[in-house]
């Protein structure tokens, strides 16, 4: 089972810690369906080399993302030349099945919980089909993830897990709708099964890789109630409306939530309806940041540049707003119309897609014709946003927005440690000792979560304060409270 290296993971601008965070959980999940007599290996090219010379398995399972597709196809060709049966699945395969089918003997469209076991039975009977399409969507009777196949020492966050599939929302730029075509687009494990998986994981730290852990309130509340008292500290992703939902954030914090990835995406209100980002429309972004910080939760903010209402000032406005709000970490993206998404279809119909070189569909390159920016302006602004947000002066200013010395030190340690200690990360990764930084991460996250005295944070769903603290289009945020946002794996957003 192979996770091919993403193109950006081999670039000169590589920050290897980004690609040493999470083990290939999807492949380890599929491996759970194999029998005890099957011999299986998982190779993640981001942390270890794949040696093809004397490698001739019966079956090669390859999981390409869009910017690892070319590498995946080369590996598939090498295996097929040896007579090895090659199977491929995942986001890119589901989006472009005919393309992937040229390189694989078997492809999987959509989630694999129903199709993968059927394929295994067919493969053992020597009659595998060329294509399997997911129809039944359930996480019932999901076997335990084969974590024994993962070298934990290669990853900063070995305790990653997924307890749901998909997302209840339907944003135009998201891969999810294409991946879940033909069945339910959001479903969860049984709470007891999710808790059992958590119990099996050593240590304190967890990272939920779910697209939206809060997407089903009843499930989320039961999960958080079951986790209370476990002594875990964990990170996850949620939406602005879930943060503002009364009572839900508090239950998550009591269960150990200490850092949340939130997709704010844009500071321009006019961009949201066009992208069907309805869960953000009319929400008070500053209240979301304030509510998280007052609960002792760090914010990992995600922003997308290049939507049709963005002009040349969007980069400085976004960074100023995020820094002023005291956002701990931010992830920036150039809007990328992935094949299979509504955004891609719309831009293709408008003649705005510049090329289909999938290597550059990495949210760092401009692959479409922007409306109010040139491609150069968008590219330069994207890189400038990263530089400006992670300057020491900006990190100090963000830390200075916190009310106490302890909060300021934590901000400096987290933001500075993540972005300013690349030589240390390089050394740990080369020595296969990156997991030695995990106790520091656990300690840092564990120091969050203490509620501050004062009035409770407002937890309304749609009400906006007067005057509004969320800037309208073209307004610089100045000193008013600011935005946060948060892909995911940078892989899928």
Mean pLDDT of all residues in 283-307: 89
Beta bridge partners of 353: 368
Phi/psi of residue 222, nearest 5 degrees: -65, -40
Pairwise CA distance, residues 3 & 65, whole Å: 9
Q: Which of 58-72, 293-307, 455-469 has the lowest mean pLDDT?
A: 455-469
Residue 361 has pLDDT above 60, yes or no: yes
Question: Do the bridges between strand 205-208 and strand 298-305 make them parallel or antiparallel, or are there none, so unpaired?
Answer: unpaired
SS3 450: coil
Q: Determine what percent of the chain falls in helix, strand and coil, rounding each to the nearest 5.
A: 40, 15, 45
Domain boundaries 156-446, CATH class: alpha beta
Annotation: CATH topology of 2-133: Rossmann fold (3.40.50)
pLDDT score at 14: 65
Phi/psi of residue 59, nearest 5 degrees: -140, 135
Residue 74: pLDDT band (50, 70, 90) is very high
Query: Which tokens in the block code for residue 27?
Result: 């492949």
Q: Which of 206-210, 245-249, 395-399, 484-488 has the lowest mean pLDDT?
A: 484-488
pLDDT score at 449: 65
**Spatial CA neighbour of 303 closest among 359, 376, 381:** 381
Q: How many CA atoms lie within 13 A of 27 on its CB side?
A: 22
Mean pLDDT of all residues in 185-208: 94
pLDDT score at 173: 67
Residue 491: pLDDT band (50, 70, 90) is very low
Residue 127: pLDDT band (50, 70, 90) is very high
pLDDT score at 12: 63
Query: Which tokens in the block code for residue 92?
Result: 């890119």
- The model's pTM: 0.85
Pairwise CA distance, residues 207 & 196, whole Å: 15
All structural domains of the chain with their residue ranges = 2-133, 156-446
Mean pLDDT of all residues in 161-173: 83
pLDDT score at 15: 64
pLDDT score at 278: 47
C-alpha distances in angstroms, 166 versus 111, 172, 326, 396?
10, 14, 30, 37
pLDDT score at 481: 23
Q: Are 175 and 341 in contact (CB under 8 A)?
A: yes
Query: What's the chain's average pLDDT?
Result: 84
pLDDT score at 478: 27
Quick check: do 2-133 and 156-446 share a fold? no
For residue range 18-69, list pLDDT tens digits in order: 788 899 999 999 999 999 999 999 999 999 989 888 779 999 999 999 999 9
**Spatial CA neighbour of 149 closest among 248, 44, 267, 41:** 41
C-alpha distances in angstroms, 293 versus 287, 300, 356, 418, 446?
10, 11, 41, 19, 14
Mean pLDDT of all residues in 151-161: 91
């Amino acid at each position: 089972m192979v996770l091919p290296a993403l193109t950006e993971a081999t670039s000169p601008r590589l920050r290897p810690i980004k690609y040493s965070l999470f083990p290939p959980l999807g492949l380890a999940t599929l491996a759970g369906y194999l029998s005890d007599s099957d011999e299986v290996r998982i190779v993640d090219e981001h942390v270890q080399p794949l040696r093809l010379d004397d490698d001739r398995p019966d079956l090669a399972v390859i999981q390409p993302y869009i910017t690892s597709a070319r590498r995946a196809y080369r590996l598939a060709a090498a295996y097929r030349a040896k007579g090895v049966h090659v199977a491929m699945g995942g986001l890119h395969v589901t989006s472009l099945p005919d393309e992937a089918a040229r390189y694989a003997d078997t492809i999987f469209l959509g989630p694999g919980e129903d199709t993968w076991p059927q394929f295994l039975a067919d493969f053992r009977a020597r009659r595998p089909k060329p294509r399997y399409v997911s129809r039944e969507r359930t996480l019932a009777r999901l076997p335990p993830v084969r974590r024994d196949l993962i070298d934990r020492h290669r990853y900063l966050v070995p305790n990653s897990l997924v307890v749901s599939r998909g997302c209840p929302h339907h944003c135009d730029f998201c891969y999810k709708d294409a991946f879940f075509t033909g069945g339910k687009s959001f479903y969860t494990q049984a709470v007891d099964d999710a808790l059992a998986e958590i119990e099996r994981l050593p240590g304190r730290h967890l990272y939920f890789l779910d697209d939206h852990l809060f997407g089903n309130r009843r499930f989320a509340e039961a999960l958080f109630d079951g986790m209370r008292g476990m002594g875990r500290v964990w990170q996850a992703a949620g939406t602005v409306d879930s943060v503002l939902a009364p009572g839900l954030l508090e239950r998550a914090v009591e269960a150990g939530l200490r850092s949340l990835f939130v997709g704010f995406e844009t500071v321009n209100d006019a961009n949201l309806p066009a992208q069907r980002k309805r869960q953000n429309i009319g929400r008070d972004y500053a209240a979301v940041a304030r509510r998280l910080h007052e609960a002792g939760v760090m914010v990992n903010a995600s922003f997308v540049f290049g939507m049709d209402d963005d002009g040349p000032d969007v980069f400085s406005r976004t960074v100023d707003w995020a820094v002023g709000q005291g956002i701990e970490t931010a992830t920036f993206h150039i809007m990328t119309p992935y094949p299979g998404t509504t955004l891609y279809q719309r831009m293709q119909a408008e003649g705005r897609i510049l090329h289909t070189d999938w290597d550059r569909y990495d949210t760092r390159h401009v692959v479409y014709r922007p409306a109010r920016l040139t491609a150069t302006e968008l590219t330069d602004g994207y890189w400038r946003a990263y530089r400006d947000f992670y300057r020491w002066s900006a990190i100090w200013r963000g830390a200075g927005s916190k009310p106490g010395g302890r909060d300021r030190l934590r901000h400096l340690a987290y933001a500075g440690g993540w972005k300013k200690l690349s030589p240390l990360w390089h050394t740990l990764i080369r020595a296969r000792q990156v997991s030695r930084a995990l106790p520091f991460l656990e300690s840092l996250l564990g120091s969050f979560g203490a509620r501050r005295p004062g009035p409770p944070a407002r937890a309304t769903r749609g009400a906006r304060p007067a005057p509004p603290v969320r800037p309208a289009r073209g307004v610089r945020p100045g000193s008013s409270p600011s935005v946060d946002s948060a892909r995911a794996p940078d892989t899928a957003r």
